[in-house]
Amino acid sequence: MLGWLLGVDGTVGARGYTAASHATFLDIVDAADSLFAFTGRLELGKGRLGAYIDGTYDKVGVDGATDPSGVADVDVDFSQTTLDFGAMFRILEPDDTLRDPTLDLYAGGRYMGVSLDLDPANIPAISGDRSWTDPICGAKLGLPLTDRFRLALNGDVGGFGASSDFTWSATALVVYDFTVWSKPASLMLGYRGIGWNHVEGTGGQRFTWDVIEHGVIVGFGLRF
């Protein structure tokens, strides 16, 4: 389980109205109903083949966004569910002590569900709900640093015009490995970013999610 100290940059819009949002984690703490984004990952594998599910939920509020004129203050609230899923193939296999590098290639999809509310200062509030799924492909690299510490890197790209024009994610973690009740466990600290360029509809039905979410990520893992 991971906690994500989330910041937001980009443009969001519903029913043809857009707002430019920029908020650090501290800004979001001041305005949001939820202070963190929570994320978890499950991996199953046998031999060199594996599968994964990686889910994130967050609920965020941003005050003082601007409309396209750059004049009006807009309060932006959104909740989102992101679910990555797919199959993995291990290129580099570690020894039993996990002291060798590992490299996995993967391909799958990214489901995104968003509920968006815009509250401009000069017109009635606007809302919109959308969901879509993008194809993605990427790689996950593990680099041992010492007997206890390792570096975990994960990155992917996708969209390719199927639903979004483009989507991507990148994560870098420093991991400390130890044992809990004779089970392998890990503490993790790092940084994560994920972005979308998704626009659908025209005119008054236009929905925009051109957003980068990024921030420090902390967590705990247990392997069985």
pLDDT, tens digit (0-9, with 9 covering 90-100), for 17-60: 998 888 777 666 665 555 557 788 888 988 899 999 999 998 88
In angstroms, rounded to a whole number, what is the distance separating the alpha carbons of residues 88 and 36? 29
Q: In 3D, which of 104, 1, 100, 8 has the Cα closest to residue 49?
A: 104
Mean pLDDT, rounded, of the chain: 88
Residue 95 has pLDDT above 90, yes or no: no
In angstroms, rounded to a whole number, what is the distance separating the alpha carbons of residues 11 and 171? 22
Q: What is the DSSP secondary-structure string of 38-58?
A: EEEEEEEEETTEEEEEEEEEE
CB 186 within 8 A of CB 176: yes
Upper half-sphere CA count for residue 105 (Cβ side, 13 Å):
3
The strand pair at 73-92 and 102-120 is best described as antiparallel
Burial class (CB in 10 A: 0-12, 13-18, 19+), 103: middle
Burial class (CB in 10 A: 0-12, 13-18, 19+), 57: middle
pLDDT band at 72 (very low <50, low <70, confident <90, very high): low
Q: In 3D, which of 122, 126, 26, 24 has the Cα closest to residue 78?
A: 126
Query: For residue 21, what are the β-bridge partners?
Result: 10
Burial class (CB in 10 A: 0-12, 13-18, 19+), 2: buried
| Mean pLDDT calculated for residue range 189-212 | 94
| Mean pLDDT calculated for residue range 182-196 | 92
Intra-chain end-to-end CA distance of the chain, in Å: 15
In angstroms, rounded to a whole number, what is the distance separating the alpha carbons of residues 96 and 148? 14
pTM above 0.85, yes or no: yes
Domain formed by 2-222, architecture? Beta Barrel (2.40)
pLDDT of residue 66: 78
pLDDT band at 96 (very low <50, low <70, confident <90, very high): low
The two structure tokens encoding residue 144 = 């041992």
